[in-house]
Amino acid sequence: MSDQSLESPVGEPGIHSQWTAKDTGWMFSHIGTGIGAGLLYLPINAGIGGFWPLVLMALVSGPMVYLTHRTLTRFCLASRQPDNDFSTHVEDTFGSAVAKWLMLVCFLSMFPVLLLYTIGISNVTISFMVNQLNWAVPSRSLVVFGLVMAMVGVFCGTEQRLLRLFRRMVFPLTIVLLGIAVYLIPQWRMDYLMQPISLHKGAETFLLALPVLVFSFYHAPVCSTFARSYRQENPDIHACIRKTDSIHMRSALILLGITLFFVFSCVMALTPEQLAQAKADNLPTLSVLANQPGNRFFSTITPIIAFVAIMTSFFGFFLGVIELMNGLLSQGVRSFCPGKVVSAGHVHRASLFIIALSCWIAGVGNWSVLGIMEAVVAPMMAIIIFFLPIAGLYRSKKLQQYRKALWDVFVLGVGTLVIISFVLSQLL
């Protein structure tokens, strides 16, 4: 898969075509945001149906991840003003009535996930304190407060600081994941490749795993901030598209390569009984490996990997949620207090407070991963990543040259399959 094969328009290279530390930071932000769920749950959901459905998922994942996030970023780059946020651009493109519903869909696709990541990182931290450090059970409210303040505090700094943090966290994480995947190779069960192929069972497994597959590589929350950062730097939209396309290509290749290698290695190292039990117990792959007798290495390193993976995903989703919250609060002020002017700084601080308080309440409450929350998040994600960008692509004259019927139909087709598979998963 290359840029030329996907027919990205090519222009003359300039100073903005050179690769920079900023580009590396944004590339790792994509990887970090998308790697959390894929690292924790994808091997169980994808591998339980056998080897060949897993191969089919791997083949579909490449173009799906690259094309969807690339198109969403292109849509964001086509905003009327370089500093327009996502809500303003959606309103300009689709009108205020439709934009309000789309913003609600966007918010519901991100905010619950942010709360779930807060719960997850709180549980991992407390478990590590008790089980690995042999401390007494700490006050949950204080631990969650410290974690939330530390994570939210990152967003009080500059963009350069955040991107530097992504680089420092995600690069070691990818190396460790590759190391684990290689470490598991001697434990591979080659009989896994010889399992009988059932077309019906394979198709069912593929369909039911599609929502998890989408969520596992989902880094749409960073796309708007990512696009605006480059649009403010360079007013030439086509130069920005060439730059962001190249970043998406690299991030997709690394994200897919590492995650899929990790998935294949884990699946081939576990027995079908272990996979089925993990699915029944809702356990992530790393927990299954850590619980194997005599595996002190995994029992020590698993909480650290899970902590870093969840935190990088939290940061990515936070970028999207804070932008949406800013837009929703600004719209609320305009609707209920016409003529009142509120500075962007005040709105941003109010958004930080609301989100931090919500995360703290969720972390202290330690809510279960309710089916109703999954029912809200999964279809909303499909709408945002598959359907909204294509609709925006065909409504924006600036993006007319980037319309490619074959790839656009592919994206819409996969999006439709995701919705169908989600409905089936709720019925079966």
3-state DSSP assignment of residue 184: coil
Average pLDDT over residues 57-86: 92
Domain residue spans of the chain: 17-427
Average confidence score pLDDT of the chain: 84
Average pLDDT over residues 364-369: 77
> pLDDT band at residue 85, thresholds of 50, 70 and 90?
confident
154 and 129 Cβ atoms separated by less than 8 Å? no
Q: What percent of the chain has pLDDT over 90?
A: 38
Write the DSSP string, 333-376. HHHHSTT----HHHHHHHHHHHHHHHHHHHHHHT----HHHHHH
Q: Which two tokens stand for residue 126?
A: 């407390």
Taking only the tens place, the pLDDT of each residue in 326-357 is: 988 888 887 787 777 778 888 989 999 999 99
pLDDT score, position 207: 78
Q: Looking at this protein, which amino acid is placed at residue 228?
A: R
pLDDT score, position 333: 82
pLDDT score, position 372: 47
Q: In this model, does residue 4 exceed pLDDT 70?
A: no
Euclidean distance between CA atoms 103 and 327, whole angstroms? 9
In terms of pLDDT, which residue wins out, 159 or 23?
23
Report DSSP state, residue 15.
Answer: G
In terms of pLDDT, which residue wins out, 65 or 208?
65
> pLDDT band at residue 11, thresholds of 50, 70 and 90?
very low
pLDDT score, position 9: 45
Most confident stretch, 294-298, 381-385, 389-393, 421-425:
389-393
The candidate with the shortest Cα–Cα distance to 212, out of 378, 383, 59, is 378
The candidate with the shortest Cα–Cα distance to 93, out of 261, 265, 285, 224, is 224
The candidate with the shortest Cα–Cα distance to 31, out of 149, 168, 224, 160, is 168
Taking only the tens place, the pLDDT of each residue in 121-178 is: 898 888 888 877 889 989 999 999 999 999 988 887 777 888 888 889 999 989 988 9
239 and 82 Cβ atoms separated by less than 8 Å? no
Average pLDDT over residues 179-183: 90
pLDDT score, position 282: 57
Euclidean distance between CA atoms 166 and 156, whole angstroms? 15
The candidate with the shortest Cα–Cα distance to 73, out of 17, 128, 26, 16, is 26
Q: In this model, does residue 365 exceed pLDDT 60?
A: yes
pLDDT score, position 111: 92
Average pLDDT over residues 3-19: 51
pLDDT score, position 56: 84
Q: Which CATH number fits the domain 17-427, given the four candidates 1.10.8.590, 1.10.10.10, 1.20.1740.10, 3.40.50.300?
A: 1.20.1740.10
pLDDT score, position 388: 95
Give the list of residues 6+ apart from residue 123 with CB closer than 8 angstroms, or none.
Answer: 366
Euclidean distance between CA atoms 188 and 269, whole angstroms? 4
Euclidean distance between CA atoms 179 and 304, whole angstroms? 15
Helix axis angle for 51-77 and 86-94, nearest 10°, is 80
Lowest-pLDDT choice from 92-101, 371-380, 406-415:
371-380
Euclidean distance between CA atoms 186 and 315, whole angstroms? 35
> pLDDT band at residue 369, thresholds of 50, 70 and 90?
low
Contacts for 87-90 with beta carbons within 8 Å, 24 or more apart? 87/323, 87/324, 87/327, 87/328, 87/330, 87/331, 88/327, 90/392
Vertex 398, ends 395 and 399: CA angle to 5°? 70
Q: In this model, does residue 373 exceed pLDDT 70?
A: no
pLDDT score, position 37: 62
The position carrying tokens 């942010």 is: 114
pLDDT score, position 193: 75
pLDDT score, position 31: 93
